Structure 1
Amino acid sequence: MRLWPVELGHGPLRLRPLRRRDQHAWEEVQVRNRDWLQPWEATSPDSATPPTFAQMVAGMRRQAREGRALPFAIDVDGRLRGQLTVSLLAWGAFRSGTVGYWIDRAVAGRGHVPCAVGLAVDHCFAAGLHRMEVNIRPENGPSLAVARRLGLREEGLRRGLLHIDGDWRDHLSFAVLAEEVPDGLHARAHQRSSGSHEVATHL
C-alpha cells in the first residue's frame, strides 16, 4: 500500500494532503479560532520566529517524501476545517507513529476528529506500522474524552514532553496496537463518536 500521497474519507469528512494553495483558508480558520487553539499550540522554547505557511508546508512535504510524516488537511463538506499530522514515523523494529490534530471550533463536537484519527491510524496500520500514539495535555478534558471514546490505552504521564503555549507541558500518552483493532480503529470511532467534544491537540 502506498503511504503517501493519499486521500481518505468517510461521509462529509476527507483527509487529503495539505497544500500551499490552502494558505488563505488555513489562515482564516486559525485567526477565527485563535483563542480556542492557543492553549494547545506548540511553541518554540528559544522564541524563534514561527515558519510561514509556505515554509511549514514545504517542510511537511519534505518529511512526507522521506516517509517521516503524513500532513493531512481535514476537510468537512469540502471546506478546510483543521489539520491532522502523523509525525515521528519510525520503521525498522519500531514501526510506530504519533498523531496530532486541531479542529475548527465551528464543527467541533460532531465526531469529526475521532473519525479522522481512525482513518489515519487504519491507513498507517495497513501500510505496515504496528503502534500509534496520541499525547494530550491533562488539562485538555475534551481531547482526553476523544481518546477514551476511541478506546485508546492510557500509558501514563510524560513530564515536560512538549513546549506548548510558552512552557514545557506534561502530557498523558495513549496508544493502540494494530492487533488491538482487527476491524479497524475507524469502525470503533464511528460507533463511539456520537456526542464527542473535540479540542485541539498538537504533537
Structure 2
Amino acid sequence: MRDQHQWREVNRRNRDWLRPWEATIPPPPPGGPVTHRPTYRQMVRHLRAEAHAGRMLPFVIEYQGRLAGQLTVAGITWGSMCSAHVGYWVDEAVAGRGVMPTAVALAVDHCFRAVGLHRVEVCIRPENLPSRRVVEKLGFREEGLRPRYLHIDGAWRDHLVYALTAEEVPEGLLQRWHESRPGTPQK
C-alpha cells in the first residue's frame, strides 16, 4: 500500500502511452452486472490474495530508487504443466534503457530456479513492437497467434504468444541478457 502515491503518479503520467496495451473490462452481457476498473486498494488486495494462494507473483519495478513499472507472474499452474504467464508495463521515461528486459529476466529466473516452474509465456499484441522487442532480446520463442485473446483498449485483441522453458536457459535468463549486451562485463 505504501507505493500507492508513486504508482498512481507514474500510471497517470503514462495513461496515454499505456492505453493501447492495457487490459480493459468488456461490456457486460445484456442484463448482467456492470464491472468497473478496480481501485488501487482493490488491485493490491487482489494481488496479495492471489500471491498468498500461490497463483501469482506481483512485483514493482524500480529504477534509480523510483517506481518505474509493474511486472506480474500470473496464472501459475502446477501439476503436469508447471507454467505461468508474465505481464508488465514500464514508465515511458525509462523505456529503452534495459529496465524491462532486466526485470523480465530476473522474474523468469526466479520462476525457474526458486519457484520450480517449467514454462513461462508472454502474450503481446502484434502492434506492440517495444514489448515484442523485450522478449525477442531475451530469446523467447514466438509460438503463434491467439485470436481475440484479451479485451484491450475497448475491444478483443489478437496476441502473439512467446514462450521459454527452463531447459532453454540453463545458465539463467539474466546471464543470457547480460552476455548479449555490448560492453557488459562477462563472468
TM-score w.r.t. structure 2 length? 0.91
Q: Shift of the alpha carbon at 1:77? A: 1.4
Confirm or deny that 1:101 pairs with 2:50: no
1:136, 1:144 within 8 Å by CA — same for their partners in 2?
A: yes
Aligned with residue 178 of structure 2, among 190, 193, 197: 190
Task: Extract structure 1 runs of 4+ deviating beyond 6 A.
Answer: none
Q: Shift of the alpha carbon at 1:178? A: 0.1
Between the aligned partners of 1:176 and 1:137, the Cα distance in structure 2 is 18
Task: Count residues in correspondence.
Answer: 175
SS of 1:119 mapped into structure 2: helix
Q: Shift of the alpha carbon at 1:128? A: 0.9
SS of 1:59 mapped into structure 2: helix
Q: Give the equivalent residue in structure 2 for 1:128.
A: 116
Between the aligned partners of 1:187 and 1:147, the Cα distance in structure 2 is 15
Q: How does 1:130-169 map to 2 (within 5 A)?
A: 130-169=118-157
TM-score w.r.t. structure 1 length? 0.84
Q: Give the equivalent residue in structure 1 for 2:10.
A: 29
SS of 2:4 mapped into structure 1: helix
Q: Shift of the alpha carbon at 1:91? A: 0.6
Confirm or deny that 1:44 pairs with 2:44: no
Q: Give the equivalent residue in structure 1 for 2:41.
A: 54
Greater relative CO, 1 or 2 (CA 8 Å, sep 6+): 1
Cα-Cα RMSD: 1.1
